[in-house]
Amino acid sequence: MIADVVFDLPLAHPFSYALPAGLVVRPGQRVRAPLAGRLRVGMVVAVREGTGDALRPVERAVESAPILSAAALELCRWAAEESLSSWGATVLSLVPPPPKRADLVAPPPPAHPGAPGVPELWVDAGRDERLAKMLRDGGAALVITPDIEAAARWAAWVDAARLDSGATAGARRAAWFAAARGRVRTVVGTRSALLVPLPPPATVALVDEHDPGHKPPGAPRLHTREIVMRRASLESSRVLLLSATPSAETWWRCGAGLIRRRDAPAGPWPEIVTADTRGILRNHPLTLPLTRAIERSAREARRVALIVSRRASSLLCGECGHVLRCPECGVALAALRAGRALRCRLCVRTRPTPDRCPGCGGHRLAPFGWDAERVEASVRRRFPRVAVSRTDPRATVLIGPASLLTALRGEALGAVGIVALDAVLSAPDFRAGERAFALLWAAAEAVAPAGRVVVQTLLPGHYAVEAARAQARERFYDTELEFRSELGYPPFRRLCLVSAQGRSEAEARAGRGDCIVALAGVPGLKLYPPAAGPATPARGARWHFTIKGPPDVPRLVAGPLAPFLAKRRRGAPVVEVEVDPS
DNA sequence: AGCACGCCGACT
DNA sequence: GTCGGCGTGCTC
């Protein structure tokens, strides 16, 4: 018999091996086999008749039985094609760490095809508690969190076994096989837990669906949400997407009937106050309303969270609040450190920084922003007797990124201050509005019912602010989807980022040109003008360009770009494609 | 991705 | 005279 095996390599095709007499393996089983002079762990994707005389033999099986079903293998193949990455890299990123010695395990439960249900979206304030309760008295379930910290919190909360890399390799393996045999009801993990076999009827819950942690760099190079939904439709498990502020894509799918939104009556809602920062943030990060809110909270012995953004990279008019945007793409332009230039992250066009604001003619155009360190120092000076910290979770005034609100979930804060919402709103990202809305909503949930949110911004009339203040999700998504539709962003169009990195400027430019020529004839694609991109290694040059296309854009570009992706040829740059860049 | 094989500089 | 740089090519 011959086994076809895929490895964690950027190579699409499987490798064939002879199966020694007595060694029986099946698709979905891991094996160790010689490849390029070393023994490597790969995944069997097919077993077929044949002697395989000319082939090298599989050394041994890693586990005594398959760890993935045929459906899971197919799911990975689909995800790999969809993200222009390899089957092997995708599969091997979604299985538990291999054991030191051959391990005796039970095979996964048999496939259970049935009528797939409609995925549900839970947006109400009680969503997490309801899921926790359901998990405590329900059947087999998998909870997927955006990061390891959230996995740890959920595992402790619902008393579940962990599948993410925050647990030891042994514990992860134990959790995987216990879940497959129905020995534990609930397992928690990050995206690496996506394929854990669950006896039917199973539930897969995606926590904080809007969180960018659900699409980190690296395999599987597809959004976790997409893989979860595809898995559920193949095995008819129940899907729950949890988020107070879902992605615009998910909200749109609700409107299209692809996801059922579970609404709940609006609960109590805190006051969201905006504080105009014109001329203030340059010298001091706290406006009067925010100072008062901190004072009041400290007096009442309640805690305050001040949310800061990591970096402010856009250019803002200090007089009218105008953010410099790309006229082609509508996203804010990033201020480049070196040289006085602005760049659009999407179309990558670079233009010189104007001397005056295109909006009002004012001359106070400046990058701005307060990082956590500067804010901490400033708050300490203003409140010398209050415990202020970026690191101590017991401090009265906590300063940190938006993830602070997630970490503090469950504790009603006295106030949340958004130090500079404009840093989020003007981020060079078409999701800026969505991110700002999510932050404001999370702040409101964190202070509900009796606290107060203070938003420092030059744009108090922004639709994300107004919708959050009014506790009106529909209002936000209606506006956001209109914007996405007009400018051709997801969910209406899909983006791809193609980059060519060469050892020289000329080589990178030539590679970029070859890609553009190859894609030129494909109907339905819009290619944005290429520009120099961030060259990652020490030397070399990178050019990249964005493609906008229909939902099947991966398939449309895969063919034309295949020759550039497949092999590194002499004098040719390394070409990479990122599908659905965020 | 590794890792090997393959032709040109400074050292035991 | 070798040791070794990493350039390109293959891995069942």
Residue A511 CA, nucleotide C7 C1', distance (Å): 19
pLDDT of residue A564: 82
In angstroms, the CA A466 to CA A224 distance is 30
- The average confidence (pLDDT) of chain A is 90
Q: How far is the CA of A542 from the C1' of B11 (A)?
A: 38
**Which nucleotide's C1' atom has the smallest distance to the CA of A16?**
C12
- Residues of A (3-22) placing their beta carbon closer than 7 angstroms to any atom of strand C are 9, 11, 13-17
* Band of residue A260 on the pLDDT scale cut at 50, 70, 90: very high
In contact, A375 and A382? CB cutoff 8 Å: no
3-state secondary structure of A242: strand
Which secondary-structure segment (H or E) carries A547?
strand A541-549
Measured CA A16 to C1' C12 distance, in angstroms = 4
- Given a cut of 60, whether residue A341 has pLDDT beyond it is yes
Alpha-carbon A331 to chain mean position: 19
Q: Write down which residues 460-489 in A have CB closer than 7 A to strand C.
A: none
- Distance, in Å, from the CA atom of A452 to the CA atom of A275, rounded to the nearest integer, reads 13
Task: Name the closest residue (CA) to the C1' of nucleotide B3.
Answer: A36
Q: Which residues of A224-252 are buried (b: 16+ CB within 10 A; e: fewer)?
A: bbbbbbbbbebbbbbbbbbbbbbbbbbbb
Sorted by sequence, the CB contacts under 8 Å of residue A343 that are 6+ apart come out as A333, A334, A336, A349, A350, A351, A428, A531
d(CA A569, CA A562): 13
pLDDT band at A367 (very low <50, low <70, confident <90, very high): low
pLDDT band at A346 (very low <50, low <70, confident <90, very high): low
A536 CA → B7 C1’, Å:
29
Of the pLDDT bands very low, low, confident and very high (cuts 50, 70, 90), residue A535 is low
Tell me the two tokens of residue A84.
């222009």
pLDDT computed for residue A365 by the predictor: 82
Closest by Cα among A142, A139, A64, A75 to A107: A64
**Residue A537: CB less than 7 A from any atom in strand B:** no
Report percent pLDDT > 70 for chain A. 93
pLDDT in tens, A488-513: 999 999 999 998 877 777 778 888 88
Place of tokens 């964690």: A8
Nucleotide of closest approach to A9 (CA, C1'): B1
User: What is the DSSP annotation of A272-296?
Assistant: EEEEE-TTTTTT-S--HHHHHHHHH
- How far apart CA A434 and CA A222 sit, in angstroms, is 20
Q: Phi/psi at A252 (nearest 5 deg)?
A: -65, -40
- pTM equals 0.90
**Burial class of A349 by CB neighbour count within 10 A (0 to 12, 13 to 18, 19+):** middle
Indicate if CB(A38) is under 7 A from strand B: yes
pLDDT value of residue A312: 42
Which pLDDT band holds residue A562 (cuts at 50, 70, 90)?
confident
pLDDT score of A556 more than 50: yes
Per-residue confidence band for A345, with pLDDT thresholds at 50, 70 and 90: low
